[in-house]
Amino acid sequence: MNQRIKILILEHDADDIEFILHELKKRELSFVHSTAANRAEFEKGLAEFYPDIVLSDYSFPTFNAMDAFEWKSTICPEVPFIIVSGAVGEEKAVELIKLGITDYVIKDKIFTLPGKISRALKEVRSGREKKMTEKELREIEKRLAEAQSIAHIGNWEVELDTGNEYWSDEIYSILGLKPGGIKPSKENFLHMVHPEQRNEVRAILDGAEKEQKPFSYSTRILQQNGDIRYVYSHGKHVFNAKGKALRQIGILQDVTETKRMEEELKVLNKELETFIYRASHDLRGPLSSIIGLTNVSKSEIKDEASKKYFQMVEASAQKLDCTLISLVQSMTMRDMAVNLEDVDFDELVKETLAQLKYHEGFSNVEISVKNTVKDVFKSNKLILTSVFQNLVQNAIKYQDYHSGQSYLKILISRKNGGVEIVFDDNGIGIDEHLQEKIFDMYFRGTSAISGTGLGLYIVKTGIEKLKGNIRFKSTKGVGTRFTVFLPGTDKN
């Protein structure tokens, strides 16, 4: 709904007031009015009626419109002031407008008044909006600058037509400069890039400019005080509807802290790995002696009770040995270089079964193997040995002693240029809610059967090293099927 315009009329002649009101009503202007005939009434009207606009006669017995305009300006400077008079000449009117009066209407042309009122009010409104927009803009700019400084991300822009370049304050800060410290330009930026990487960055920027393609890179900035900052930059072109590139825009992010933390983490990780590797290795020596000695003791000691204790010592030592082997395997698997060699799957299965034949429960499980891969397949034997050992061992460990005959079916065949190996057992199966975790390091699905929680982690790490994948399907109480896919290599 349009609000009614509040008009304050400064006029001492009642007929003239009628004359103005008559014209305004005729034009169906929606308004309310108040009148004033002297300074006191006028000032009261301004202070209490809050007019949107003032219409004033030009001359009064003791003052004139110019005086009234000044009084108005001290109370409500924004309110437009239109002179409605029969006496103002053209020259005088122009002079009045120069002094700040909004407009004037000669009584002869009173029909122009409604139009002039509307225009004056519109100008006030747009002036107010402009002020608001400028204020809002400054507010947004302030917030953006604050956000950039918190996130250590600056933005830059190049106008392609003019070559004008813009850097936000945060870019200067990342470069270790005062805002506006140097002219924003590619050359000035490259000058701040570490000399060892300058050419590389120049080539990236030149290439992106030429091909008008997005780019990103990480580099080091050498600040004037010698400090080094690690930065990440990303940029792209902005095109118009016709596909013409208008601007190149981008960000520069200071990632020094993240980089430092990453480096620290890498060192710590390396130290931890070395520690685990060394500890496992160094512990295995004495452990082998313990296992050997318990063996000797078992055969020489006649006392049955002592024999039983030695058997228990041996079992515990074996378990510890398995844990240490798994730990070493999981460490080496991640960092090892993958050498490809001829793999004979029949041989691999034979070796695996020979290794596991003394494992508890081995003889309970009927293991069948169908291998149709008879040609040469290049892969890494160490990784595959570990994959076979862990998956076959799990099928033995997690067999269901309460169901009929336990089985493990191994199927090896060519698929999609690679090799697919299926390990299908009818063991205890895996609870559905545990299934997403079984490849996690140290995850154990049950404490009833001993293990390290490293087997499937090692398997997955190894298979991924070979750029393959492993998936499984398991139903509790029915069984589990692991499917391994090894892609072919160029050498296959």
Indicate the pairing of strand 81-85 with strand 53-56: parallel
The tokens for 124 are 């006030």
Residue nearest to ligand ADP (CB): 445
CB of 419 to ligand ADP, least distance (A): 20
CB of 416 to ligand ADP, least distance (A): 25
CB of 425 to ligand ADP, least distance (A): 5
Q: Which is nearer to ligand ADP, 298 or 465 (CB)?
A: 465
Q: Which is nearer to ligand ADP, 178 or 433 (CB)?
A: 433
The DSSP string of 117-155 is HHHHHHHHHHHHHHHHHHHHHHHHHHHHHHHHHHHTEEE
For the chain, state the CA radius of gyration. Answer: 44
**Phi, psi of 69, deg, nearest 5:** -60, -40
The CA distance from 186 to 253, in Å, is 16
Q: Which is nearer to ligand ADP, 51 or 455 (CB)?
A: 455
| Alpha carbon 23 to chain centroid, angstroms | 64
Q: Which is nearer to ligand ADP, 176 or 453 (CB)?
A: 453
The CA distance from 377 to 468, in Å, is 14
CB of 384 to ligand ADP, least distance (A): 16
Q: Which is nearer to ligand ADP, 56 or 390 (CB)?
A: 390
56 closest CA partner among 80, 32, 89, 74? 80
CB of 329 to ligand ADP, least distance (A): 12
Is the CA virtual torsion 107, 109, 110, 115 positive or negative?
A: negative
179 closest CA partner among 148, 200, 222? 148
The CA distance from 135 to 295, in Å, is 88
Q: Which is nearer to ligand ADP, 248 or 386 (CB)?
A: 386
Residues present in the chain in total = 492
CB of 438 to ligand ADP, least distance (A): 4
Q: Which is nearer to ligand ADP, 24 or 438 (CB)?
A: 438
The CA distance from 25 to 33, in Å, is 11
Indicate the pairing of strand 228-239 with strand 215-222: antiparallel
Instruction: Using CB under 6 A, list all residues that contact ligand ADP.
Output: 390, 394-395, 398, 425, 427-430, 438, 443-446, 451-457, 480
CB of 347 to ligand ADP, least distance (A): 23
The three-point CA angle 219-223-227 to 5° equals 90
